[in-house]
Amino acid sequence: MPELPEVETVRRGLAPHLEGHVITRAEARRPDLRWPLPPDLVQVVTGARVTGLRRRSKYILVDLEDRGSILLHLGMSGRMLIEGAVQGEFHRDPAILPRHDHVVFWNDEGTQITFNDARRFGMVDLVAPGAEHPMLAHLGPEPLSDDFTPDVLIRAFSGKKTPVKAALLDQRIVAGLGNIYVSEALYRAGIDPRRLAGRISAARISALVGHIKDVLSEAIAAGGSSLRDHRQATGELGYFQHSFRAYGREGAPCATAGCSGVIRRIVQSGRSSFYCPTCQK
DNA sequence: ATTGGCACCTGACTGC
DNA sequence: TGCAGTCAGGTGCCAA
């Protein structure tokens, strides 16, 4: 389920097991995910000390002392699993099939950290010291940073003939939003997902920026709180219960005070959009 | 240059 | 119970 908040929660969950630790062992159990795994992945990471974990958009960067970074992307179905040294201490969700454990790391405490990805849309790559990975080169601003301002989004939307839904999914405009949080942010902002990006007033775009920051911050806070419980139960990081106001609520009454609309689902460029036709204009 | 559609892959769910 | 069809949180690539 990884959009920005889920990836950030995964990063925070992994940090205690990786930051400051040495990766003592690694296995690549197949040659590729979406793209080939680096042939030297195991060799590079084995014995490396992790100096920090960063997130950029939906990517996690595991920084290695003197050896560059590991770049992780969870795709649609990727998960990170933490399992203690004592086997059987954690109960695994039966839906997480061990045959999809594609890359496994062990730290210097014997903790096993597993990249599991049924659909294999995810990626694991290496970034050389001092280099920038090409997948990160053209990303737009981080939505929760000070770089993401009303002026930035107003400029990005100016003259755009694409629906605002598609514009917000464009990672060059703003990085880290996916199908769920775009629906949620537009719902909060009262903007119809079909509206052309270039035809939204500056005032409404400014408000939208605030709603994007709010919904992402709230989701991270929710993920952070559910992380502890969830990890104790299953050892899994990254799948949380979220309460969405629009996404997945087709046919439900609009939650906006005073609105008697009903949430509708439409398909835009092959993806579902959920919105209230009454209060989103 | 933009923009829309497709492809990649597996699993869960629905309806007959 | 089985089977076909549909849908799923992402993103690079291709053609219009």
Domains and CATH numbers, chain A: 4-136 (3.20.190.10), 150-244 (1.10.8.50)
Pairwise CA distance, residues A23 & A39, whole Å: 17
Output Rg (C-alpha) for chain A, integer angstroms.
20
pLDDT at site A233: 44
Pairwise CA distance, residues A95 & A264, whole Å: 30
pLDDT at site A83: 77
| pTM reported for the whole predicted model | 0.93
Residue A161 annotated among the catalytic residues of the structure:
no
Report which residue is nearest nucleotide B12 when distances run from CA to C1': A95
Tell the burial category of A51 from Cβ atoms under 10 Å away from its Cβ (0-12, 13-18, 19+). Answer: middle
Residue found by looking up tokens 């940090």 in the block: A15
First to last CA, chain A: 28
A272 three-state secondary structure: strand
Residue A150 annotated among the catalytic residues of the structure:
no
Instruction: Report strand pairing: A271-275 vs A264-268.
Output: antiparallel
Residue A161 labeled ligand binder: no
Buried b (16+ CB within 10 A) or exposed e, A176-204: bbbbbbbbbbbbbbbbbbbbbbeebeeee
Residue A213 annotated among the catalytic residues of the structure:
no
pLDDT 10s digit of each residue in chain A, 281 long?
589 988 998 899 899 999 999 999 999 999 999 999 999 999 999 999 999 999 999 999 999 999 999 999 999 888 898 874 333 444 556 567 889 999 999 999 999 999 999 999 999 999 999 999 999 999 999 999 999 999 999 999 999 999 999 999 999 999 999 999 999 999 999 999 999 999 999 999 999 999 999 999 998 888 755 555 445 444 566 555 567 899 989 999 999 999 999 999 999 988 999 999 999 99
Residue found by looking up tokens 């104790």 in the block: A232
Task: Give the bridge partners for A38, in sequence order.
Answer: none
H or E element in which residue A6 lies: helix A4-18
Pairwise CA distance, residues A60 & A80, whole Å: 11
Is A152 in contact with A172 (CB distance < 8 Å)?
no
Catalytic annotation, pick one of A29, A56, A120, A271? A271
Is A81 in contact with A113 (CB distance < 8 Å)?
yes
- Tokens representing residue A134 in the block: 């090409």
Residue A160 labeled ligand binder: yes
Contact flag, residue A165 CB and nucleic strand C, below 7 A: no
- Tokens representing residue A63 in the block: 């920084």
